[in-house]
Structure formats: structure tokens, C-alpha cells
Amino acid sequence: MRSSNDSIVVAELRRRLFTGDLRPGLPVNIADVADDLGISTAPVRDALMRLSERGLINRVEGRGFFVAVTPDHEASELLGILHNIITLAIEKSRLPNGLDRDEVSPDNPPSLILTGHDQLNEMLERICSPTVAAIAVSVADRLWDVRRRIADHAGRACPEARLVAAIMRLLARSDRPRAKRLVDIAYKSSQKFLLKQMVNG
């Protein structure tokens, strides 16, 4: 059985990935993370194993754990898959599970709707079936570095959180066409960003 410490460490490591504290290709020092959190190394190792199963961390036999790298050309393909999943989910969606229309009214700021760095994943779990959501979250996780770089490039706080909140508000009003257009715009913008990175890289 997984301990609560494991979940806490997973959440902290994911936060460090999305904020850029952990960089692609670099090793993760288990002892340092354990010291930072004031815990033993065992839950840190367990958390890294869980993240390696989701493609966020690579485990190299005899060398330890490293932050996973998704090449931009692969990220471009993954973005296409994620775009298709979200578009289909929106087409089939009704009011997202557990979401009341008042919860996404203009009087409620986005930060009160979905908080933390997993806004996109939470949206996927709300609008997709459990099986599809698991696939979509896995794809989104593998895009963590691209998502972080796009946020950095945007130069403003939480662009992804605002995007997710806007989509959820539209779905709460059953305005699927506008929600799909918003997803299309975000997808094209992300692909344009990746193309520039590949050309300039």
C-alpha cells in the first residue's frame, strides 16, 4: 500500500517539474529531496518510481533517476493526440462531472475553480471517461516541459489555468462550439511555438 508520504512527494516533484526547478535530462538527487522534505529517502524513491511509470522520470540502472526528456518532434505528435482527445470529449460532454454552473460563473475567479499545477489533468478527468482520461493525463504529463516552456514564453502567470477555466465555463453553459474553438486556438498556438523551437534549435 502506498503511504501518504508517497503522494506528498509525488505532488512536490511534479510541482518542481512544472515550475522548472527540475530540468530535462538532469539527475534527481534523492537525498537532497528527502532533506528538503524532512523525510527518509524511501518515499522519495517510491515516488520517483511512480513518476517513471508515467514517463516524467527516467530510471537508469546503476545511475539513478533523471528528469525525462520528450524531443520537440515527439511533443508535436503528442499535442496532436491530446488535441483530438479533448475535442472528442467536448463533443460528447454534457455538464462536466461534479461541476455546477454557479461554480464557473464570472463571479468566481479561475483560481477558485481549479487550483495547483494540475488544472489540465483535472479537466481531463472531468470531461473524459475514466479510461480515456487515464490516457489523456499520461499524454499531458509527457508534455510537462513543453507546457512549462509555453507558460514561460507567455510571460504571464498561469496561462494554462486561465485557458482551462475558460473551457470549463463554456462547457458549464453547454457552449461546446466555442469551447472547441478555444482548444483549437490553443493547439495551433502550441504547435507554432514548437515549430519555432525546432527551427531555431
- The per-residue pLDDT for range 135-161, each reduced to its tens digit, is 998 898 888 888 888 877 777 656 788
Q: What is the pLDDT of residue 11?
A: 85
Residue 153 pLDDT: 79
For residue 169, how many other CB atoms are within 10 A of its CB?
Answer: 21
Is the pTM above the cut of 0.95?
Answer: no
Q: Output Rg (C-alpha) for the chain, integer angstroms.
A: 18
- Residue 8 CA to residue 76 CA, distance in Å, equals 31
Instruction: Report the largest interatomic distance among the alpha carbons of the chain, rounded to a whole angstrom.
Output: 54
From residue 21, give the alpha-carbon distance in Å to each of 2, 24, 133, 194: 25, 10, 27, 21
- What integer pLDDT is reported at residue 109 of this predicted model? 37
Q: What's the pLDDT at 100? A: 47
pLDDT in tens, 154-181: 776 567 888 888 898 898 888 999 999 9
Architecture of the 4-67 domain:
Orthogonal Bundle (1.10)
